Amino acid sequence: MKKIILAYSGGLDTSVAIRWFKDRGYDVVACLVDVGQKADFAKAKAKAKKIGASRIYVADAKEEFVEDFIFPALKANAVYESKYFLATALSRPLIAKKLAEVAKKEKAKYVAHGCTGKGNDQVRIEVSLGALAPGLSVIAPLREWELTSRNAEMRYAKAHNIPVEATRKSPYSLDENLWGVSIECGVLENPAAEPPKNAYQITKDPQQAPAKPAYIRVGFEKGVPKTINGKAYKPVDLILQLQKIGAAHGVGRSDMLENRLVGIKSREVYEAPAASILHTAHKELEALVLDRELFHFKEMVALKYSELIYYGLWYSQLKVSLDSFIDSTQKKVTGEVRLKLYKGSCTVVGRKSKFSLYKEALATYSEKDTFDHKAAEGFIKIWGLPYRK
Ligand code: ARG
């Protein structure tokens, strides 16, 4: 029997896919990757078994997700089109990696995923698989099956005795992990309409957030966040903790009209409290310790790095090379940033580092000033020379 490893989430699409593959003569092995989504894994596992998967792998990939995917993106300041912290996009190469690992273990030649034919995720998963395990053949049932609507899938599920949870029925399409939630479809497809309150899944409505701001300090070592208010946290716990504080203050929402890789524009709403806090803090610390030219050049690299993640090029030489550049810039990104979280905003109110390049004696307008004001004259003369000619 042909064996296929299916990236399984427990949701409708991939549950239906188990049966669909079985009907086509495949031995289906389900692979559920835990990247921090809120899901009942035991229930999902039982469901896959009931539908007919011969084996189910549940991979706890949270730590790997944070250390090998989220932190490199953070060090790079990678934010797609200035608004999207790439939560979904970062998880895809990791899911592909897990699929390839299970395929190797199971000696399977086929892998499958539940991505649609017009999204970015199919590209990210397949390009990643191509780089990691070029011998595998990928099948994307949603691109080929006759079940072209949610209703058609529901009917198929009913007809084949596949359990469908009515409780998790949401008018939106959600993708969730440790780094954030992506929300699309339903009324959000009208880009002129404000997202309804129920679109947001994890953050408090800023209007309803506490009237008293929360102050927090985030400590970094070589560009990697390590502490909150002076207390050390393990990577996953640090993110969960910031998610909690940020969400309570309505931090990290964004309403975006984005350019998809497949050529269309789409409207998506994001919630990423921890990502929002960490990106704000990290960039601020860089502002303190990196010299001007490096800081500016790194902004260009950030743009490229965000595209690379969005476009599914995680397993590329470009990524490896940019990482070595970025890591070389992080040697002095050690210190602490103080932030104020207040009704949806996250603002920096203080920063310090033993590697600070800020010199009060040079910056001050008081009598302690040591800046050579006279020298500015010559500097301006030469700097402005081309424009006087
Ligand atoms: N637009 C985002 C991306 O391409 C998220 C895609 C998944 N969104 C969702 N609501 N299922 O990375």
Active-site hit among 19, 91, 92, 217: 92
Closest atom of ligand 1 relative to the 268 alpha carbon: 1
| Shortest-distance atom of ligand 1 to CA 172 | 10
Catalytic, out of 55, 68, 173, 356: 173
Residue with tokens 């800046």: 371
What number of other Cβ atoms are within 10 A of residue 73's Cβ? 25
Confirm if 181 and 243 have CB atoms less than 8 A apart: no
- Distances in Å between the Cα of 305 and the Cα atoms of 74, 81, 180, 310, 320 are 10, 11, 19, 9, 11
In terms of C-beta density within 10 A (0-12 exposed, 13-18 middle, 19 or more buried), how is residue 241 classed? middle
pLDDT of residue 150: 86
Instruction: Please give the CATH number for the structural domain made up of 175-352.
Output: 3.90.1260.10
Residue 295, pLDDT > 80, answer yes
CA of 104 to the centre of ligand 1 (A): 28
173 noted as active-site residue: yes
CB neighbour class for 175 (10 Å; exposed up to 12, middle 13-18, buried from 19) = buried
Instruction: Grade residue 264 by pLDDT with cuts at 50, 70 and 90.
Output: very high
Answer yes or no: is pLDDT of 169 > 70. Answer: no
Lowest mean per-residue pLDDT among 151-155, 212-216, 346-350: 151-155
**CA-CA distances (angstroms) from residue 63 to 34, 37, 40, 68?**
10, 13, 19, 8
- Distance from Cα 177 to the centre of ligand 1, integer Å: 12
Q: Is the pLDDT confidence value at 167 over 60?
A: no
What percent of the chain stands above pLDDT 70? Answer: 99
Give catalytic status of residue 13 as yes or no.
yes
Q: Do domains 2-62+86-172 and 175-352 have the same CATH topology?
A: no
- For 39, residues 6+ apart whose C-beta sits below 8 A from its C-beta are 9, 10
Rounded to whole angstroms, how far apart are CA atoms 296 and 303? 11
Measured in Å, residue 74 CA sits from the centre of ligand 1 at: 19
For domain 2-62+86-172, give the CATH number.
3.40.50.620
Where exactly are the structural domains of the chain?
A: 2-62+86-172, 175-352
Active site residue 15: no
Q: Are 180 and 275 in contact (CB under 8 A)?
A: yes
Do 80 and 258 form a contact (C-beta atoms < 8 A)? yes
Q: Looking at residue 166, what is its pLDDT?
A: 59
- What secondary structure letter does DSSP report for 199? G
Cα of 226 vs centre of ligand 1, distance in Å, is: 29
- At how many degrees (to 10) do helices 292-310 and 87-106 cross? 50
Average pLDDT, the chain: 97
- Ligand 1 pocket, Cβ-based, cut-off 6 angstroms: 88-89, 120, 173-175, 182-184, 268
